[in-house]
Amino acid sequence: MGYAQLVIGPAGSGKSTYCSSLHQHCETMRRTIHIVNLDPAAEHFDYPVAADIRELISVDDAMEDLNLGPNGGLMYCMEQLEDNLDDWFEEELDNFLDDDYLVFDCPGQIELFTHVPVLRNFVEHLKRKNFNVCAVFLLDSQFITDVAKYISGCMASHSAMIQLELPHVNILSKMDLVKNKKDLDYYLEPEARVLLSELNRNMAPQYAKLNKVLTKLVKFSMVNFVPLDLRKESSIQYVLSMIDNCIQYGEDADVKIRDFDPDADD
């Protein structure tokens, strides 16, 4: 059984930085994880890249060969990944052990998990290969400055949840940039009633019914965010243990330790 995190979220939300901090944290903890780059447009990395989609195809090549723009180029590359799951990706997976822990640093284009089934098919493939997979959705805390933006972030996360049908952890990234943490409490444990009155206050009266439905949906879909401050090891550890819990990482290890407990027969 392998373990995997699929790190997703809007462009610039901090996915690659999260991957690199997670890698460092795990090194400190003497724990092995492997970060795989799935962003064909990525240029530099602060983590050791264990496998790289750019070895299959890069956005620059796709744009040049097919005369595509950056977004079209990216979509084409991801389709190439999908077409090569049984050969290129298979060979890459062969480099890992069966119970390895992989973290996939994904591109930020929102279309990838709203419009096309590429990531969904990628996840299905991982599941067939016996991986327990968790979606890790990052949203930039700087983005959540008012209720409308918060709802928009929830909707983006929600569509990823529906599309991928995976255990799902939502992270509010870049907490070191938040001056007044109290301002965010409001969004960390949202109350539909409060969100609704705030939305109604900011918007014209004809939106009242829509606002009511949206706030109910946010509450109903149970989208909630965990704040992450990468300066704090304890914050990284907290997020990591939540994700580990979702994919049952460590449970087998516990069994193994218990199996070999010399005092067990006492």
**Which residues make up the interface to ligand GTP (CB under 6 A)?**
11-17, 39, 108, 173-174, 176-177, 230
B/e letters for 130-144, b = 16+ CB within 10 Å, e = fewer, are ebbbbbbbbbbbbbb
C-alpha dihedral sign at 115, 136, 140, 197: positive
Helix (H, G, I), strand (E, B) or coil at 50: strand
Closer to ligand GTP by Cβ: residue 163 or 173: 173
Closer to Mg ion by Cβ: residue 6 or 199: 6
Find out whether 13 and 139 touch, Cβ atoms under 8 Å. yes
CA angle 157, 161, 162 (to 5 degrees): 120
Decide which of Mg ion, ligand GTP, none touches 230; Cβ closer than 5 to 8 Å per partner kind: ligand GTP
Decide which of ligand GTP, Mg ion, none touches 14; Cβ closer than 5 to 8 Å per partner kind: ligand GTP
**What is the smallest separation between the CB atom of 212 and Mg ion, expressed in angstroms?**
36
**What is the smallest separation between the CB atom of 173 and ligand GTP, expressed in angstroms?**
5
Site string for Mg ion, 6-45 (x = CB under 5 A): ---------xx-----------------------------
Residues 62 and 222: their CA atoms lie apart, in Å, by 39
DSSP 260: T
Closer to ligand GTP by Cβ: residue 73 or 108: 108
Closer to Mg ion by Cβ: residue 81 or 196: 81
Residues 163 and 124: their CA atoms lie apart, in Å, by 12
Decide which of ligand GTP, Mg ion, none touches 174; Cβ closer than 5 to 8 Å per partner kind: ligand GTP
Decide which of ligand GTP, Mg ion, none touches 1; Cβ closer than 5 to 8 Å per partner kind: none
Both tokens of residue 221? 């879909």
Closer to ligand GTP by Cβ: residue 230 or 240: 230
Closer to Mg ion by Cβ: residue 36 or 151: 36
**What is the smallest separation between the CB atom of 24 and Mg ion, expressed in angstroms?**
16
Residues 144 and 13: their CA atoms lie apart, in Å, by 12
Residues 190 and 199: their CA atoms lie apart, in Å, by 13
Both tokens of residue 228? 């992450």
Closer to ligand GTP by Cβ: residue 11 or 29: 11
Decide which of ligand GTP, Mg ion, none touches 40; Cβ closer than 5 to 8 Å per partner kind: none
Total number of residues binding Mg ion (CB under 5 A)? Answer: 2
**What is the smallest separation between the CB atom of 265 and ligand GTP, expressed in angstroms?**
48
Nearest to ligand GTP by Cβ — which residue?
108
How much of the chain is helix, strand and coil, in % rounded to 5?
55, 15, 30
**What is the smallest separation between the CB atom of 91 and ligand GTP, expressed in angstroms?**
25
* Residue with the two structure tokens 């195809």: 57
How far lies 210's CA from each of 120, 154, 217, in Å? 29, 15, 11
